Every structure is written in structure tokens, then in C-alpha cells.
Amino acid sequence: MRILSTILCSVLLLTSIPVFTSCGTFGGGDKIAPIAEGQDSIVVNAERAQRSTLDIYDLVTQWEFKNRATLPAEVSRAVDAFRKEFPPAWKQSRRALADYKKQKGPNSTDVERITSALLVAQANLLQLRDGASATDATRAMNALGQLISSIRVVFNRTPSTTTSTNR
Amino acid sequence: MDYFALALQALEAAAAAADALAKAKELARIMKEAAQQTSELTQEQSDQLDAKADAIFAGPASQSSGR
């Protein structure tokens, strides 16, 4: 149920509705804390997404690492793709946010787009871990591609940070 | 089916349920922590997040499975 709500939240984010302010509760009926007055909600939501995606990346890679012997190879390969592509994408999302805070380059729409893509990748990573099927692996790969292309769009439009996309 | 096989099956089902519960709890903890953030991270917290990411990305679970 919680996984479903995570996926639902991510889908909502794709439609530009901030996930951490629109989805009622998380585990045990805990409410989502309102963003403090005077704080930039774009930044807070981006940081929330960065923190949760990092933890979930850790959770999923640890899970694959510990259960490799019993998992289908296609699932390990899908997680491998995340191992290769997610760290630079996550770091670029951090860089984009830092640039946004300095009002240098990315605007609020850019940051929201990356935040949305991060959360969709996160939801699909979770589905991959729980479903562990070929369909889920494909879905996870598509979400990863979406995350990377969202980040590329932002950096390709931003001359001051273009060099950071070279991998 | 003998009693031993039945007991084993029940044990496996219980283990799977416990595992699923542990995963759900872990996920809830992660999402709750993020959802409780109300302000922008301080520079120190931001640096800590980046350091944590570096450690995760360099850890053994982040290396390719080679499959």
C-alpha cells in the first residue's frame, strides 16, 4: 500500500503537483510537514527527493547485492544500469539545485522537472525490487532514461554548467 | 505432503511476510524522514548528504554485478 502511494505520488509529481505537499500521509499516519514560512518550496521538495532517492538507491542496490544468487540475471542487469547511471544523474541534480540557489542557470521549472524525474525513477526502482520481473526491469530502465534526459535538457540549456554533462 | 514440508512452507511464508514488513517499514522510515524536512538544508547538512552519497556510490553494493 505504501509502495502504491509512493508510485501515485510520483505520478502526481509528473503533473507538476509537488509530491511532498499533496499526498496526505506516510507510514503510520504521519503527516507531511508543511514547508516553513520564507523557505523556497522548490528547494525543500528537491532536497526531499534527493534524500529519499539516495536512500532508496542504497536500499535497492543492497538488496540486489545480498540476493544476487537467487535473482534473475535481468534484474541484476537492470540494477547494474542504475549503478552506472544513477550516481552521475543524482550528482547533476545536486549541481542543478546549487546553481538554482545561486540564481545561476536552472530555473524553478528545471528543478521541478528533475525532482519529478528523480521520484519517478525512485518509484520504478521500488517496483523493480518488489516485483523483480522483466517488465519491471524495463520500466525501471525507462524511468532512468527519463531522469537522465531531464537532467540533460537542463544542462544543455545552461552554458555555465554544460561541461558537467560530459561523461 | 508430510508435516515437515507443511511446517517448512509455513515458515517460508512467515519469513516472506516478515521480510515484506521490514521492507515496508524501511521504506516508510525513508519517506517519513524526507517528508519531515521543512526547511532548506544548511550548508553542513548539504555537505553531509553529498558525503553520504559518495560513500554509497563507492560502496560494494554499488559495484556492477557482472552478470
Look at the pTM and tell me if it is higher than 0.80: no
Asked if residue A109 is part of any domain, the answer here is yes
The answer to whether residue A55 sits within a structural domain is yes
Among candidates A6, A68, A83 on the partner chain, residue whose Cβ is nearest the Cβ of B62: A83
- CA nearest to B56 within chain A: A58
Q: Is the pLDDT of residue B47 over 90?
A: yes
Asked if residue A76 is part of any domain, the answer here is yes
Indicate yes or no: CB of B38 within 8 angstroms of CB of A126: no
Are the CB atoms for A36 and A61 separated by under 8 Å? no
ipTM of the complex as predicted: 0.74
Domain range for A85: 2-17+43-161
Domain annotation covers residue A37? no
Residue A91 lies in a domain: yes
The domain tally of chain A equals: 1
Which is more confidently placed, A160 or A83? Answer: A83
Residue A79 within a domain:
yes
Q: Is residue A97 part of a domain?
A: yes
Distance from CA of B9 to the nearest CA of A (A): 18
Q: Using a CB–CB cutoff of 8 Å, tell me whether B43 touches chain A.
A: no
Rounded to a whole number, what is the distance in Å from the CA of A62 to chain B's nearest CA? 5
For residue A26, list its beta bridge partners.
Answer: A30
Phi-psi region of A133 (alpha: psi -120 to 50; beta: other; left: phi over 0): beta
Report residue A57 as a C-alpha cell. 538507491
DSSP H helices in A68-133: 73-101, 108-131
- Quote the CA–CA distance of B27 and A63 in Å, as a whole number: 13
- B17: distance to nearest CA of chain A, Å? 13
For the segment A50-109, what is each residue's pLDDT rounded down to a tens digit? 998 999 899 889 988 988 898 888 888 888 988 988 898 899 889 889 988 888 778 888
Q: Is residue A35 part of a domain?
A: no
